Each structure stands twice: as C-alpha cells, then as structure tokens.
Amino acid sequence: MDIAHISSAHPWTDNRVHLREAAGLAAAGWRVLLVAVESDLDVPDTGVQVRTVPRRRRSARVLLSSAQALWLGWRSGARVMHLHDPELVWGIPLLRLLGRRVVFDAHEDLPNQVRTKAYLGRVGTALARVLARVVVHVSGTADRVVAATETIGDRFDGRKTVLVRNFPRLREDDEQAHDRQPTIAFVGALDVGRGAEVLAQAVVHPSFPEGWRLRLAGPIRPAALVDRFDRGVERGRVELHGQVSPGAARDLLASSSIGVVTLLPTSAHLDCLPTKLFENMAAGLAIVASDFPLWRRMLCGYDCVTFVDPTDPAAVARAIADYATDPELLARHGAAAAAAAREQFRWDHEERVLVEMYRTLLGDPAR
C-alpha cells in the first residue's frame, strides 16, 4: 500500500477525503487505502480500498476511533499516512518515529473555530485555545501539510505546506441543460451558525416568492431545529430531504435554480471557503451568499451572486424574490456561475497540486 487516508470523524463517503483526494491519488496510479467512519450511504467505485470504523459518540470517537483508525492504517503498511482530523495528531510523532511519512490535512482553522464556541464559557474557551495551538503545532511537524484555505495555510511552515481548496469535481453532465424547478437548494449540514434560523424565517417572510420552495438536503443539528421549518413545510415552501448521497446531492442541485449559502459572520466563517458555494456554481445555480469580504474578493468579476446580510431573513427573501421575478437575471447569474466553475473553481486544478506533492514524497506511481 502506498497511501492511507485516515479519518475517525468523516464518513467514508466524504467528498474531500474520499471522492476528491483519495480517488484522485488512486487515479494517478498509487495504491490507496481509506480508513473512515461507516455510513449508510454509498458511492461509486473509485479504485480506493475502504475500511471503516464504527460511528461513536464524540468522546468515544476521540479515545477509541482515533486509535482504531490509525492502527488500521498502520497495519496496511502504507508508506504515507494522510491524517484528516485534529484528534489524530497525537499519532504524528509516533508514526514518524516508526518510519512512516505523514501528511496532515488541515480542513479547518481551529483557533478561529474556538472563538465561536460561546457555550464553552471563559475557562473552557481559554483551555480550548491552548489545545488548538498545541494541535496546530503538532500537526505542523508532519512531513507535509495540506491546507484547505490560505488562512489555514498561513499557520504552518510554507516550505512544506500546499494549498488544496475545496473546489468540486465537475461532472460531464454539469454543462448540459437541466429542467430547472422553482426551487432554492441548501445541501449539507445545517445548524444555527450556517443560517438555519434565518432560512426558516425567510421562507415565511412576505417577500418570499409564491410557488417557490426551499430544498434542504443534509442533517439539521440539533434535531429540534427541524421544528423551526414547520411553518414553511405547512405552506409548501420547504422540502426536507434528509441525508442524501453525494450523487443525489448533485442531482438535486442540477434540478434547482438558486443556491443559498448564508453562513453567519463568525470568525470561523469569515475566512472559510465552503464547498457548497462552489458546488452550487458548478451546478449552474444563481447564488444568494453571505456578504463576506473574502467571498466578494474571490468572486469579483463573476456576475453570478447576490450578496446579502446573512442575519436578515428579509434580505434573504428579497434576494430570492429578485431572481424569481427576473428570469433573465436568474439565467445570466446561473450561466456565469457555471462558467466560473469551469474556468477557475474546479477540483482538477487542486488535484494536480496534491498529486505533485505526493510525487515529492513517493516519486512517480508504479503502474
């Protein structure tokens, strides 16, 4: 085995961990193992060998799943261990001591995330900040660091850090004409920080267009938040699809007209590049998005998005109504989003960076 991708937190069907990174390295010719959490969903064969660990509560996951996942990866004999979760960083010095090369994949900016956890209290937040700094320091001792954003990458040694952003893998039918329905799509995990309360209020606001529906595909956490959408469901304005496979999620986007990405302005969100934003663009959707400076800079020059105050349900409802009542604007923004994805925001550009990094570690794959 050449490479073992290890995650004790992500399901084995995860887009970044499996369908982009592990699958891309397997397609390049390396033998790739993925150890990740079991899932009820399925994905097409990617050429990646998969082993799973049980789903567990957070405390058991940190204590048991991390050790189990690392052991399964180690036992495979993989020359490089590619770790995807902060709870796995304790294994970095041990693996290197035992002669394995280690890559740490920094998906999130941990120090920034800690600032958003108000429920921790003052003492808990202080301890979490110390722990986050320790995790960043230890993960930085890996042979290579893969950063999902430039902000994350800035926390590590630039000489051994590469930027591999969460852009989508384009499908052959992404550019084909689709039967677009009068629907707005939100695909992915939804919670208060990702705008659940605001969306629930937006769909029942007087400005929300008649005949349009919000489609939610993914877990809503905590489960009690589902009740916030009851009025929208009763009025025929909300569809709750629950957890769906990556392929089904792409199909849902392809048949929708508008994508909504209204994350709240927390320190963790202001500098993030959410996958769902670029997946919406790849599917050719007009976008309603949070008015964050980073997102404005990134999408400057692409006439594909309406920026809104993500804390204002009325602003979100009005932006959707503007698209619903102006088919020309809707079509223009959707076409521009698809063009931007083809030209700039696509996975194969990032995959080349990842493959080249692995060549520096392993040389060319033996085919």
Q: What is the pLDDT along the chain (367 residues), one digit of tens a residue?
A: 999 999 999 999 999 999 999 999 999 999 999 999 999 999 999 999 999 999 999 889 998 999 999 999 999 999 999 999 999 999 999 999 999 999 999 999 888 776 666 556 677 778 888 888 999 999 999 999 999 999 999 999 999 999 999 999 997 776 565 689 999 999 999 999 999 999 999 999 999 999 999 999 999 999 899 999 999 999 999 999 999 998 899 999 999 999 999 999 998 899 899 999 999 999 999 999 999 999 999 998 899 999 999 999 999 999 999 999 999 999 999 999 999 999 999 999 999 999 999 999 999 997 6
Residue 37, beta-bridge partner list: 11, 53
Sign of CA dihedral 74, 78, 80, 85: negative
Residue 179 confidence (pLDDT):
83
Environment class of 234 (CB within 10 Å of its CB; exposed 0-12, middle 13-18, buried 19+) = exposed
Q: Hey, what CATH topology would domain 3-167+346-362 get? A: Rossmann fold (3.40.50)
Strand ranges inside 112-237, DSSP E: 144-147, 161-163, 183-187, 213-217
Q: Which CATH class for the 172-343 domain?
A: alpha beta
Find, among 215, 327, 193, the residue nearest to 260 by Cα.
215
Cβ(38)–Cβ(54) below 8 Å: yes
Residue 117 confidence (pLDDT)? 61
| Under 8 Å between Cβ of 199 and 237 | no
Query: How many Å apart are CA 100 and CA 75, to the nearest integer?
Result: 12
pTM: 0.91
pLDDT of residue 122: 72
Q: In degrees, to the nearest 5, what angle opens at C-alpha 113 toward C-alphas 112 and 115?
A: 70
d(CA 306, CA 195): 16
CA distance 91 to 107: 17
Backbone CA torsion sign across 315, 319, 322, 324: negative
Where are the strands (E) in 269-357, listed by range? Answer: 286-290, 305-308
> What does the pLDDT read at residue 171?
79
**Beta-carbon count within 10 A of 224 CB:** 8
Cα 5 to Cα 1, 75, 80, 198, 244, distances in angstroms: 11, 13, 9, 36, 23
The answer to whether residues 282 and 168 touch, using CB atoms and an 8 Å cutoff, is yes
State both tokens at 105: 């994949």
Q: Measured at the alpha carbon of residue 45, what is the angle toward residues 42 and 46, in degrees to the nearest 5?
A: 115
Q: Which of the 8 DSSP states describes residue 62?
A: I
Sequence length of the chain is 367
Domain 3-167+346-362 identical in fold to domain 172-343: yes
Neighbours of 108 (CB within 10 A): 14
The DSSP H or E segment spanning 338 is: helix 327-343
- Residue 360: what pLDDT? 97
Residue 154 corresponds to which tokens in the numbers above? 């800035």
Count the alpha carbons within 13 Å of 175 in the hemisphere toward its beta carbon: 8
Would you list the domain boundaries of the chain? 3-167+346-362, 172-343
